[in-house]
Chains A and B, each alone.
Chain A
Amino acid sequence: QLQLQESGPGLVKPSETLSLTCTVSGGSFSSSSYFWGWIRQPPGKGLEWIGSIFYSGSTYYNPSLKSRVAISVDTSKSQFSLKLSSVTAADTAVYYCARSGYYDILTGYTYYFDYWGQGTLVTVSS
């Protein structure tokens, strides 16, 4: 059973860069068929997709966040990471990592979030 775990600072100062890492265990991370993504949820609000990365390193970002987001992958550590720059209080949220799609030779691409981390709260405050 695939397991995902977010890690990183719970408090970030305004204008600084938020950095989180997702560690994947219990399955094959180093598959050339998987997408990995980040989703966030401000307190009391809905879910928002931030971006995804394919195993190859191709990245896909929410257009509303694209100028501030960078997602990278480290296959040697079975990890992928999120950096969000120039944060403000509006970036305070629970951040989730998830597997965000996969490719199968028989069925083609499947696009959805099937495995989720438990989430980590990041507060932006001085």
Chain B
Amino acid sequence: QTVVTQEPSFSVSPGGTVTLTCGLSSGSVSTSYSPSWYQQTPGQAPRTLIYNTNTRSSGVPDRFSGSILGNKAALTITGAQADDESDYYCVLYMGSGIYVFGTGTKVTVL
């Protein structure tokens, strides 16, 4: 069974930069997996941030950016703000209609 791994938690200072990653239990993540990223605060539905590796969803600030770093997908928050404190999930498209969510990263801004 495919496992998509993310760091459990990250802490970033206000105004700082943090890079979250999204890896595969076996193999490398490439653009062909159509990596996407979602932000979720407690009690709310996820909010779409990034799709197709690096395309920002409508209304998403440009401090959020997506990329491939080495063998993983990555989400970088540049100039972190207090309201960026959330859980972040990546999703990989495995082909044949199948999606797998990552394990999620809790980001604290302090």
Chain A 91-125 per-residue mask, 1 if CB under 8 angstroms from chain B, else 0: 00000100011000000001111101111000000
> Nearest Cβ in chain A — how far from B8, in angstroms?
11
Whether A126 sits at the interface, judged by CB under 8 Å, is no
Interchain CB contact under 8 A, A112 and B98: no
Residue in A closest to B98 when the chains form the complex, CB atoms: A60
In the bound complex, CA of A112 to CA of B92 (Å): 8
The secondary-structure label for the interface of chain B is strand
- B23 adjacent to chain A (CB < 8 Å): no
**Chain A residues, CB < 8 A from B102:** 46
A42 to chain B, nearest CB (A): 12
> Is the CB–CB distance between B57 and A114 below 8 Å?
yes
| Distance of A112 Cα from B48 Cα, bound (Å) | 9
Known contacts A46-B89, A63-B1, A64-B1, A114 near B48 by CB under 8 Å: yes
Instruction: Give the distance in Å from the alpha carbon of A78 to the alpha carbon of B50 in the complex.
Output: 27
Contact A112 B91 (CB under 8 A): yes
B91 touches which of A49, A54, A58, A62 (Cβ 8 Å): A49
Q: Interface residues of A toward B: which range? A: 20 to 34
Chain A 44-85: CB-based contact to B (< 8 A → 1; otherwise 0)? 001111001010001110111000000000000000000000
A112-B103 contact given A63-B1, A117-B45, A119-B45, CB 8 Å threshold? no
A116's contact among B46, B96, B98, by CB below 8 Å, is which?
B46
Asked if B101 is an interface residue, CB under 8 A from chain A, the answer is yes
Q: Return 8 A-B CB contacts under 8 Å, by A number.
A: A46-B102, A47-B46, A49-B101, A60-B96, A110-B52, A112-B51, A114-B51, A117-B45
CA–CA, A39 and B101, complex, Å:
10
Shortest distance from the beta carbon of B39 to any chain A beta carbon, whole Å: 12
